[in-house]
A and B are shown apart, each in its own frame.
Chain A
Amino acid sequence: MLARILRGPDSRIGLVTVPVAAVLAALVVGGVLMAVEGVAPLSAYGEVVLGVFGRTRGLIDTAVIATPLILLGLGIAVAYRARVFTIGAEGQYIAGALAGTAWVTLGPPLPGLLLLVSGLVVAVLTGAAWAGITAWMLARFGASVVITSLLLNYVAAAGLAWAVRVGIRDPGSFTPQSRPVGDAALPDIPGTTIHLGFFFALLAVPALAAVLRRTRFGFRADVLGANPEVLAVNEARPAWTRFAVLALAGSFAGLAGFVEVAGTTERMTPAFATGYGFTAIIVALLGRLRPLGVLVAALLLAGLTVGFDEAERVFIIPSTTVGVIQALIVVFFVAGDALSRRPGRRGRH
């Protein structure tokens, strides 16, 4: 029974119905909010859709915003499958990006491709190490993953503030920011801002699906989520599997961070931490902790962001509306999922 918690009921219908219903319900509430504001919801939503599909730019922006969300969401999904509830993706994302940027801007002068690849490796390892602190604190002290991973986000945020002010600051810049990544920049599709990172993210989806379905690691992660004792009985130590899923989640977050710097922002500023690590939790849950679901959910949330951005130019909508709708999606999803799984007749009758 526990195996089905979060990952949805066995039936294909329940699997998709609840997330879709949650999205629709959140959009309805969002519409009511806009109506209260004096904006006609249907025309606003029309503008949201047009903002994404009505112009090439909308689709490009959606892909760019979805890129870190997909990568972060995939990592979170694996951890949550094992019932390791990390909320440290934001910190791992910052730490990975910082280390990667430090390497490519201050490290040895390497030729372009080597610089990029080594930067990616540094970022992935740093992300994994940052998540590893959480794993270590759990294994050694039994400290709650939820709490330690979240506290580490604040530590990483302080690190970011220091790094762009002092540590990896561009000496020629007046405001605190790092040097541009230069040769380590990810190439864009000509004529667009979609960078190679989007294809990394797209490739990671089937790759992770294969790992989850076919490897011992994937199986152990799921068993750990279902019943850690079964894992222990089978002589696979739960602690190691927990460490592995956290390190994997950290790797994905570190990768997402570096890809965002090298592909989109090209340098780090204090504004680098935009909360993608938290939005990615919604992505992972809504995607039912499945790689393909994560892809769909990330594109959906990115599309909502882009579409609302466009709609705000036409209508007077508070810029935080899309955040409220995204947050409502996850609340409705959690409630709907629990309701749909509630043992109706078993309890009392």
Chain B
Amino acid sequence: MDTLFTLATLAAAIRLAIPVAVAALGELVSERAGVLNLGLEGTMLFGALAGYLATLSSGTPWIGLGGGLVAGAACGAVLALLMVVVRADQIVTGLAFTLFAVSATTYLFEQSYTIGQAPPRIPSLSMAPLVVIVLVVLAGVWFLLTRTTAGLVLSATGEAPEAVDALGYRIPQVRTLATVTGSALAGLAGAMLVCGPLGLFVQNVTAGRGWVALALVVFARWRPGRAVAGALLFGLCDAAQLRLQGTATAIPYEVFLALPYVVTLLALMVRARRSGTPAALAVPFVRGGT
């Protein structure tokens, strides 16, 4: 175990934490406005595929990241249309969207290369710029939420939509904007996963990281800094799992396969009950009440 906590493991942990952190920050934005976006995992998948395809066709992973951002925003627009405008049940909509994304991205991916050939690898970004992006997103979300009027309106929409409505802001617009912004970040997160050191899209490449990000938002009590810290914790578990998989130890590697999810569950036990949940989370807004 003493070889576990080396600089290489730490680097791997940061690498694995990056997409989770960005997705969690995105989800945090939409949840602060009262939209529980369970389509996060699906949005990440679309972002990952878009990032892969955009890099493949342009040869530049930076364009891939842009592709992920745009694809995520598009997913957010669809989700907002369903959840905010049509007011479909947020939980069912998010689930349905993620189920759809798993099939649709696999289908589209298979269309993108000749069957029988290995899918081409894409040039990948090194870690440093990705870390910078995480820090920029973190600073941006923090600044938005704590230092701007827009952020104040956003958070108030998740807490007391009636009051915000009375002030003359349009709740559906605020929530749509928050969902699109949050989803764009989730799409970016997916693209960062693929355009980073991985350099490849595979079926279900996100492997539940969107769900982990959702859990992290609860764990972080809707605070941006804590969400990133939580993502790092997840990354550490994931890195340990990868590191120990090859080595013959008394502990089967499957234990470490399950570890990030178990740790997330444990984290939920510690944090879930405490306050911080936006009061109007997942509650559709109807002017004048239902």
Residues in A lying within 8 Å of B, measured CB to CB? 1, 5-6, 33, 85, 87, 137, 140-144, 146-148, 150-152, 154-155, 158-159, 161-162, 165-166, 278, 281-282, 285, 318, 320-321, 323-324, 326-328, 330-331, 333-335, 337-339, 342-343, 347
Contact = CB atoms under 8 A, between A and B. Distances in A.
Given A6-B92, A141-B269, A320 B254 contact: no
A137 B107 contact: no
B194 interface: no
Interface of B: 38, 82, 86-89, 91-93, 95-97, 99-104, 106-107, 110-111, 208, 211-212, 214-215, 218, 252, 254-255, 257-258, 261-262, 264-265, 268-269, 272-273, 286-287, 290
Contact of A151 (B95, B96, B100, B264): B264
Contacts of B218: 143-144, 147
B178 to A, nearest CB: 19
Given A150-B208, A320-B103, A320-B107, A143 B257 contact: no
A337 B254 CA distance: 41
B262 A338 contact: no
Contact of A347 (B96, B254, B264, B287): B287
Given A144-B218, A166-B252, A155 B258 contact: yes
Nearest to A136: B269
A99 B255 CA distance: 18
13 contacts: A6-B92, A137-B268, A137-B272, A147-B215, A151-B212, A151-B264, A162-B255, A282-B99, A318-B111, A323-B106, A338-B87, A338-B93, A347-B286
Contact of B102 (A142, A161, A327): A327
A327 B258 contact: no
A162 B88 contact: no
A33 B218 CA distance: 39
A192 to B, nearest CB: 30
Contacts of A328: 100
A334 B97 CA distance: 10
A342 B106 contact: no
A343 B110 CA distance: 41
A151 B106 contact: no
A282 B92 CA distance: 10
A130 to B, nearest CB: 13
Contact of B258 (A33, A85, A154, A334): A154
A159 B215 contact: no
Given A143-B269, A144-B272, A151-B215, A323 B103 contact: yes
A285 B269 contact: no
A324 B103 contact: yes
Nearest to B92: A334
Contacts of B110: 318, 320
B95 A281 contact: yes
- Name which of B93, B104, B272 has the most chain A CB atoms within 10 A of its CB: B272
